[in-house]
Chains A and B, each alone.
Chain A
Amino acid sequence: DTEVTQTPKHLVMGMTNKKSLKCEQHMGHRAMYWYKQKAKKPPELMFVYSYEKLSINESVPSRFSPECPNSSLLNLHLHALQPEDSALYLCASSHPGLETQYFGPGTRLLVL
């Protein structure tokens, strides 16, 4: 099973709202990732968790707050977003190191 699930599929939020994106995998992977993808562009790495610890933060604004409660779950908490944050947010997981990353279907976020 190489499935990564993400909820919700779509999310519309105002600039003052607080919302969370969720990602789950049951492949025993100990590395999990958040990517942001704008239309017609490649995914851009936001955060990497390795063994439930944040290992890479690509200078992401603090209005995005990641959380890894356990080895199977990854959350992205959103607060006071801007319209330019509207994008497809992709979660991925892998074994730590130079291993294949498996992607979820993404959450399409619209900030009004």
Chain B
Amino acid sequence: AQSVTQLGSHVSVSEGALVLLRCNYSSSVPPYLFWYVQYPNQGLQLLLKYTSAATLVKGINGFEAEFKKSETSFHLTKPSAHMSDAAEYFCAVTLKAAGNKLTFGGGTRVLVKP
């Protein structure tokens, strides 16, 4: 079975500071991993995805994530937070054996302080 854990349901950062959102997965086989962002009253937007190619993945809006198999992690970072980064962020995993089923972590709400 696949599962995802996001450490920290809320993260508060100052504008211009590093954003670090943690995601750990549980899977016995290589997973596909995704980060989505959800702004208030909107759907989910894909930030980036890992599909077994490069372990460092660059996404939109200056975000990137690194897949570390030894740590079963896929943490999301952005060097310098902007006020527009305030949103809910979801890490998600899917496996070949699971077909099209995407499993989400609990989400992390990011607050950006001026």
Residue positions of A touching B, CB distance < 8 A: 4, 6, 31, 33, 40-43, 45, 48, 50, 55-56, 90, 92, 94, 96-98, 100-106, 108
Residue positions of B touching A, CB distance < 8 A: 32, 34, 36, 41-46, 49, 51, 90, 94-96, 99-102, 104-107
How many residue pairs between the two chains, A and B, have CB atoms under 8 Å in the bound complex? 55
Name the A residues within 8 Å of B107 (CB-CB): 40-42
Q: How far is the CA of A43 from the CA of B45 in the complex (A)?
A: 13
B44 adjacent to A50 (CB under 8 Å): no
Say whether chain A's binding surface is mostly helix, strand, loop, or mixed. strand
A106 adjacent to B94 (CB under 8 Å): no
Name the B residues within 8 Å of A33 (CB-CB): 100
Q: How far is the CA of A16 from the CA of B49 in the complex (A)?
A: 42
Q: How far is the CA of A97 from the CA of B99 in the complex (A)?
A: 6
Apart from A103-B44, A106-B43, list 18 A-B contacts with CB within 8 A.
A31-B100, A33-B100, A42-B107, A43-B44, A43-B90, A43-B104, A48-B99, A50-B100, A56-B99, A56-B100, A90-B43, A98-B95, A98-B96, A101-B102, A103-B36, A103-B43, A105-B42, A106-B42
